[in-house]
Structure 1
Amino acid sequence: MNAQDLKNSILQLAVQGRLVEQREEEGTAEKLYQQIKEEKSKLVREGKVKKSKNLPEITEDEISFDIPASWKWVRLGEVGETNIGLTYKPSSISNNGTIVLRSSNIYNGELVYDDIVKVEMSIPENKMCKSGDILICARNGSKRLVGKAAIIDKEGMSFGAFMAIYRSICNEYVLHVINSTYFRNALLPETGTTTINQITQDRLRNFVLPLPPLKEQKRIVAKIEELIPYVEKYDKAYSKVEELNKKFPEDMQKSILQYAIQGKLVEQLDEEGTAEELFQQIQEEKAKLIKEGKIKKTKALPVITEDEIPYDIPENWKWVRLGEIVSILGDGIHGTPVYDDKGDYYFINGNNLNDGKIEFKDNTKRVNEDQFIKHKRELNESTVLVSINGTIGNVAFYGGEKVVLGKSACYFNLIIEDFKYYLYWVIKTKYFLDYAFKKATGTTIKNVSLAAMKEVAIPLPPLEEQKRIVEKLEELLPYAKQLIK
């Protein structure tokens, strides 16, 4: 339940007579109703108000809920007066003159005077507000704004044609009724035309009001005013909890990944050897491939310094540079191939890489075999693709797809193919993404250089431990993803 739901519940309890207790000494709504009728008759006899048309009797179908025995169902027009506002010409608007209240002058149940219009013209008395009147937005292009209301706190103002006022001795209570879902559900579902939503005078007068005795009304208003500050506190707390709830699954996923690359997700087992041994195997295999002419010898990368190590790892792990464990690292073409709608190959970029897979979209361009041969890259089952331009950090494994790479996709072939599954998750971590964005150049479109990719420090576990880490991640992360959804 959010704060608005809580407020709606409080107002619903109020209009049903369930927010405060009933007291015999406070009389009945019937007695109040008769007093109001007598006062109205007196004002009619004195010529101070016009006699209004009798309103129809309330039927059983119009009664939405039970009310206390001391209450009475009445029509709003029986216990007060309503009126629509002033129509004026643009030529009447002036820096001086009479303030005309409009919808924009009601904000959060109160009157505001930041945006006022004044007119210089003769205004009939029935178009002038009195302090204590309820100002209601009766018509508006937005249905959401229709029905918003506030108590007028000054004399000498008028109100616009899209507004209505309600005047009675029950206004403080009636305002809360107007703010209730009962009022909105009763009047707004059937209001409005194709272009404008409205509460007509007739419907406002005929609205069925649950009327309590006057003293009980005052206690209801006091109780609502006592509770609203708690609702506001609840709103702040609820918003904070909602924010935490939204962040928690994502934070949990980040934490799990961080634990994984720090060697804290699974235990270390002596029988699985060390990352140093694995690293030496990689270097031996790399030297062999160079000797056989299958790959080119690359320039030695700088030794990893203490400043580059962001956290501690287990003793049997090792910090290595990405370029030290791959046979090749490059990117796609730095230009545009010749497209061919009937071609068998797809021209892909970083935005085609997602969750370990290469995705072909409706707008992915095609090229023919000649273009593929011209722009071919050495991709195989050990290839990992990473987006390094624009969107950074999308990852995919190459699975034999017929593709030509664009420059926003970096590719590298690992010396040991099985290493790619652990490396996939390293690239997904905050650690890697922070590094990539720190190294990225460009203002509008960020780009990570191939040199930066080669030099990123990777926390390397023994191969068997890598497999157990991946298994544990695949077990835990679906729970975090379910929470995100």
Structure 2
Amino acid sequence: MVFTNSLSSYYEKMLATGEVKCIDEEIPFEIPQGWEWERFGNVMINKDSERVPLSVAQRQHLKKTYDYYGASGVIDKVDKYLFDKDLLLIGEDGANLINRSTPIAFIAKGKYWVNNHAHVLDVCSEMALSYVALFINAISLVDYVTGTAQPKMNQEKMNSILLAIPPVKEQHRILEKMSMVDAFIDKYATLQTKLDSLDNSVYELLRKSILQEAIQGKLVPQIAEEGSAQELLEQIKAEKQKLVKEGKLKKSALATSVIFRGDDNKYFEKNGNTEMNITDEIPFEIPDSWSWVRLNDICSYIQRGKSPKYSLIKKYPVVAQKCNQWSGFSIDKAQFIDPDTLSSYGEERILQDGDLMWNSTGLGTLGRMAIYCSTLNPYELAVTDSHVTVIRAMKKFVLPQYLYYYFTSNTVQSVIEDKSDGSTKQKELATATVKTYLVPIPPLMEQSRIISKIEQLASIMRG
């Protein structure tokens, strides 16, 4: 029994022994006149002994008629019931005791079954169950929980909770007022959810708009002194010829096409002596200093990975589709190849910094891209599996981050499945398709300015 003396200190008398002790340090806050503090166990009737746990296997073939409660609410239905009365349930164990992601105390109604993960309680007076639930959900239970890996609030700890008890009529007035407040809270939560959704959609729309402006040459101004993309393509061609002579590129890499706009403003592509009208392929107009080009003509390597022989030896990770997320590249999701099979991959298949890794199969994952960064790989090196295409740009002339922004733009992503090969169940970006993708190329310095501007605007949007 808890009481105060003439000095307004709080004392507790143990009825069994008659011992009296001061509990001022335990009292969390002052209460109005007419209210009383009391230990939870002194005003509640515990029915835990009537609980019966049923395993998943036991419940599997039962008729689903009555609610089956666990620590956080209804988790199943069963064909019989243990209780047929409104009772208070309080979660006995689980992380929710600490993080309180859902209410820890709730009222069970009707006919139902309770397992051994929820305390079952009734009141021994006219006190309202819903008020007790409200109080328990409002306070921190950290001081009454044992264990960290597996938090638990046993009967002894629960019974020691100090409960602030108002007169019965005031309890009901409190509950009535809270029901009104809950209606406002629910309305606010709904509006907040809509606002969060709108914020996310606005952010995504802005991001897409920025990327679209960027790849069309509208995000940063053109500067004549930076030269033209045509000059850049000539430099790439010369560099490829040099690499072929040095044996670092195959001669087939020199077979490039030239895309130009005719006097009638139509676009043409010239391959050797063959000239084709490709106006229908051009998605938008670009500045005069830019050029349209096939992806293969500005890359030194475009190729799928191999189907690996996996190993438990964590030496050489294999980048798969799940490693390429829109949030970035994650080696943590990778499996590993058998180290003895690395030589069968060939040196060119070993990933290099700046390599674009493009998911080339599947529904939902098709077209997702990330940039390989060796500093994010704690292992010696990495390769890709056969579902990921590696795109290695001529990095002296074409910045991988610019290509990344182009291939993640709405121009590419919105039609990725339409331009893919394969069936409706298994879409695929064939290597030949990837190599012939049209890319709008600005001069090198403008590429750098575009990247900086996109990153600056993204930082502002993130707040």
SS at match of 1:259: helix
Deviation at 1:63, TM superposition (A): 1.8
- The answer for the alignment partner of 1:461 in structure 2 is 442
Q: What is the CA–CA distance in structure 1 between the aligned matches of 2:182 and 2:415, rounded to whole Å?
A: 48
SS at match of 2:211: helix
Find out whether 1:219 has 2:173 as its counterpart. Answer: yes
- Rg comparison, structure with higher value: 1
Deviation at 1:223, TM superposition (A): 0.9
CA contact (8 A) 1:139 1:163 kept: no
SS at match of 1:103: strand
> CA, structure 1 residues 273+380, in 2 after alignment: closer, same or farther (shift >3 Å)?
farther
Structure-to-structure mapping, 1:377-392, within 5 angstroms: 377=348, 385-389=356-360, 392=368
Structure-to-structure mapping, 1:361-440, within 5 angstroms: 363=336, 366=339, 375=346, 377=348, 385-389=356-360, 392-396=368-372, 408-412=388-392, 414=394, 417-421=396-400, 422-440=402-420
- The answer for the alignment partner of 2:32 in structure 1 is 68
CA contact (8 A) 1:332 1:404 kept: no
Q: Name the structure where strand makes up a greater proportion of residues.
A: 2
Could you tell me which of 186, 189, 199 is aligned with 2:155? 199
- The answer for the alignment partner of 1:136 in structure 2 is 88
Find out whether 1:189 has 2:151 as its counterpart. Answer: no
CA contact (8 A) 1:149 1:178 kept: no
Q: What is the CA–CA distance in structure 1 between the aligned matches of 2:330 and 2:44, rounded to whole Å?
A: 70
Structure-to-structure mapping, 1:45-124, within 5 angstroms: 59-75=23-39, 82-84=45-47, 87=50, 103=69, 107=73, 115=78, 117-118=80-81
Q: What is the CA–CA distance in structure 2 between the aligned matches of 1:458 and 1:303, rounded to whole Å?
A: 17
> CA, structure 1 residues 393+173, in 2 after alignment: closer, same or farther (shift >3 Å)?
closer
Find out whether 1:313 has 2:291 as its counterpart. Answer: no
Give the counterpart letter for 2:45 in structure 1. T
Q: What is the CA–CA distance in structure 2 between the aligned matches of 1:357 and 1:225, rounded to whole Å?
A: 47
> CA, structure 1 residues 53+229, in 2 after alignment: closer, same or farther (shift >3 Å)?
farther
- The answer for the alignment partner of 1:449 in structure 2 is 430
Find out whether 1:266 has 2:220 as its counterpart. Answer: yes
CA contact (8 A) 2:44 2:121 kept: no
Give the counterpart letter for 2:397 in structure 1. D
| TM-score, reference length from structure 1 | 0.58
1:401-453 CA distance string (max 9 Å, x none):
99888754434554x83223433432343433445454444578764222211
SS at match of 1:410: strand
Deviation at 1:227, TM superposition (A): 0.3
Q: Which has the higher contact order (CA 8 A, sep 6+)?
A: 1
> CA, structure 1 residues 104+449, in 2 after alignment: closer, same or farther (shift >3 Å)?
same
- The answer for the alignment partner of 1:28 in structure 2 is none
Deviation at 1:363, TM superposition (A): 3.3
Deviation at 1:350, TM superposition (A): 6.5
Please list every run of 5 or more consecutive structure 1 residues that lacks an aligned counterpart in the other structure: 1-51, 91-98, 120-126
Percent identity over paired residues: 21
> CA, structure 1 residues 101+363, in 2 after alignment: closer, same or farther (shift >3 Å)?
closer
> CA, structure 1 residues 316+65, in 2 after alignment: closer, same or farther (shift >3 Å)?
same
- The answer for the alignment partner of 2:132 in structure 1 is 175
Give the counterpart letter for 1:393 in structure 2. M
Q: What is the CA–CA distance in structure 2 between the aligned matches of 1:138 and 1:418, rounded to whole Å?
A: 65
Could you tell me which of 273, 281, 303 is aligned with 1:331? 303
CA contact (8 A) 1:330 1:411 kept: yes
- The answer for the alignment partner of 2:295 in structure 1 is 322
> CA, structure 1 residues 266+367, in 2 after alignment: closer, same or farther (shift >3 Å)?
farther
Give the counterpart letter for 1:236 in structure 2. T
CA contact (8 A) 1:72 1:212 kept: yes
CA contact (8 A) 1:87 1:160 kept: no
Please give the root-mean-square deviation of Cα atoms over the aligned residues, in Å.
Answer: 5.8
Deviation at 1:266, TM superposition (A): 0.7
CA contact (8 A) 2:67 2:77 kept: no
1:301-340 CA distance string (max 9 Å, x none):
98574543444434543433324x3375542675779x9x
Q: Name the structure where helix makes up a greater proportion of residues.
A: 1
Deviation at 1:171, TM superposition (A): 0.9
